[in-house]
Structures are given as structure tokens and as C-alpha cells.
Amino acid sequence: MHKIELVTSEDLEARLQQCLEQRQMPDYFLYLGDSGVRNWLKLSSSQEFPIASHLTDLLRQSLPSIAQHLSSGFDMVSIGVGRGEKERMLLEALVERGTPSYFPVDISSQMVDEALNTVADIDVNKTGVVAFMEDLEQLRQFWNPPVLLCLLGNNFCNYDPDYLLETVYRQLEGDDLLLFDCHLLPARLGREQVEQAYRSQLNVRFNIDPLVQRGLDPYSCLFYLDLLPVKTSLGTVYRTRKRIQILKDTTISCVPNKVSLSAGDTINLGFTYKYTRPQVEGYLQKHGFEQLELFLSTDGCNLLVLVRKQPPTRSEQGND
């Protein structure tokens, strides 16, 4: 069990400085450091923000059907692994069919450590990797096909869908599988229900904490969140817009440098898409993926999908 760092803490501090100078703070900064880990674990287990726990429940219920597709020899790679509790369930199913290698990947080195500790008692090869999803091409060198590539914990919704699916498609081979989950736009209450969850006090603290840890007074800023419509080729989807408004001049420490924020500045944070089920299926079809399994929670709010690249047609095989 060991860890590879494609991205170092120094890299991340330098990137945070650059982003703040542009008044941006992408969401991956929320998970950094001991404080980021504590905040996320507290948020993900809270009833104020039940998305993470409901997605875990859906995976647990769906695991027997998923396991039928996992033949012997699958390596497992999970991007944005967090604590790795869902991955443990999958790994236990894989171990029954062989001895896979496991690669928990996260931009937070502390989260990678948590994920490795979660499966410390399972006898498989384990290599933690500190990296971005954008490093997927580099990650490909570590695993052996076939691979089960996981994007769990609503990670699928934190990227532009066309970019994400194009990137994943290029790195998968014929027998590889992609497993992802997502929290859908609720049919009832819809935007109001989503906004209420994302405006919870725990989530607000989670979002402002990277700045608080680096010098911001939590009472001298305001957090805003809207769920806005975005027109796409697959209809109107919704995307969160999160902002932190600075109320007084503040100096943020990004080791070894500092960033000055002025009263009235607005820091734009990351986003989360909210799709309907037909829109998710439409994106998969658009980018050449074939559904093997699709699971929908009883309330219709959570989706879990297992896919592979569509097999080539006979004409395509002939052209080869």
C-alpha cells in the first residue's frame, strides 16, 4: 500500500493563489487539508445534506446486479474517492472474483489516506494517487485492463458533461466499465428542494472554509447560491452558481504568498449540474456509451449507471 503524488500540496497552493487572483475558487479546494476532510465527512453524514448517504444506499441496494458484470481480473480506479466507503463495497465484490489492484484517486492527499485506511484489511494491491480527473490519461499507465472506473459521490455532476464523457471515452478500452452516480433534479419541488440542501449551514461552512483557514473572518463574507437554467442540445438543465461576497478588506495566505481581497469582491466557486434521467441517458448515447445497468432510487432523485463503450458495428469492424 503506497501513494503517488501527481499533484503536490505546493502545486495546489500555487494554483489557489492564481485562482483567487482571478476571483475564482474551484470546488476541489474545498477538500484540501485536515479541515477540508473533517468538514466533508461531517457534511456527507448529515441529514441537512443527505445526497451522499442516499447515493451510498442506492449503491448498496444495487450491488448484487452490478457484481454480475464484474468478472475476474478487474482493476478498480475511483476518481474523487473521498473516504472510499462505496469503493470498499465494490472491492469486496471484486475480491470474490480475483485479486484486483485498487487505485483510489483524489486531489486531497488526506482523502487518499482515508480511502486507503478504509480498505486496509482487504488483501489486494492498493496504490493511492493524488491527482485531478484531468490527469486521467496519465493515470491510465498505472492500471491493467480491464478496469472498473468509478465516479461516485455525485462527481459526475461536477464537470461539464461533454468534456467529462469525451475524456473518459478516450481512456477506456473494449472490456472496461464506467460506474457513476448522480443526484437528479427532483420531480417534486425541484429547484427549491435542491437550493435548500445546498444552502444548509453545514454546506455554507464547507464552502467558505478554505478562505477561513487562510485568514478570512467567517462573519465578514456572504454566501450565495442559485440554481440557474442552462440551455443545451438535450434541453434545459440546471446548474448551481455559488458565490462568496467579501464584506471587508482581507488578506488570504497561500503559502508562501498572499492574496489581497477587497470589500465588495465576489469569489466564484464551482458548480454542480442537475439533470433529469432522460438527459443523463441522452449524454451517454451522444458520447458512445452503452448502458449495462441503470438503477433509480424509489424517490426518483438518485441514479446509478453502469456503462461501457458501445461495441463497434459490423461495418466498423470491417473497416478495421
Torsion, Cα 56 136 285 274, to 10 degrees, reads: 50
Residue 244 one-letter amino acid: I
Q: Residue 189: count other Cβ atoms within 10 Å of its Cβ.
A: 10
Look at residues 180, 150, 134, 163 and name the one whose alpha carbon lies nearest to residue 280.
180
Half-sphere exposure of 46 (CA within 13 A, CB side): 16
Eight-state DSSP code of residue 26: -
- By three-state DSSP, how is residue 283 classified? helix
Q: How far apart are CA 246 and CA 42, in angstroms?
A: 25
Strands 302-309 and 289-296: antiparallel
Q: How far apart are CA 51 and CA 220, in angstroms?
A: 29
* Per-10-residue mean pLDDT, the chain, length 320: 92 95 96 91 85 93 93 89 94 85 96 96 95 94 93 95 96 95 77 73 93 96 93 91 97 93 97 94 97 94 96 60
Question: CATH code for 1-212+274-320?
Answer: 3.40.50.150
Look at residues 275, 59, 12 and name the one whose alpha carbon lies nearest to residue 160.
275
Give the contacts of 65 (CB within 8 A, at least 6 positions apart). 293, 295
Strand residues in 145-234 grouped as ranges (E): 147-151, 177-183, 221-232
pLDDT score at 95 = 87
Q: How far apart are CA 179 and CA 166, in angstroms?
A: 15
pLDDT score at 186 = 74
Give the contacts of 318 (CB within 8 A, at least 6 positions apart). none
- Residues composing the chain: 320
Peptide bond into 104 cis (omega under 30): no
Q: How far apart are CA 311 and CA 8, in angstroms?
A: 38
Q: Would you kindly state where each structural domain of the chain is located, as residue ranges?
A: 1-212+274-320
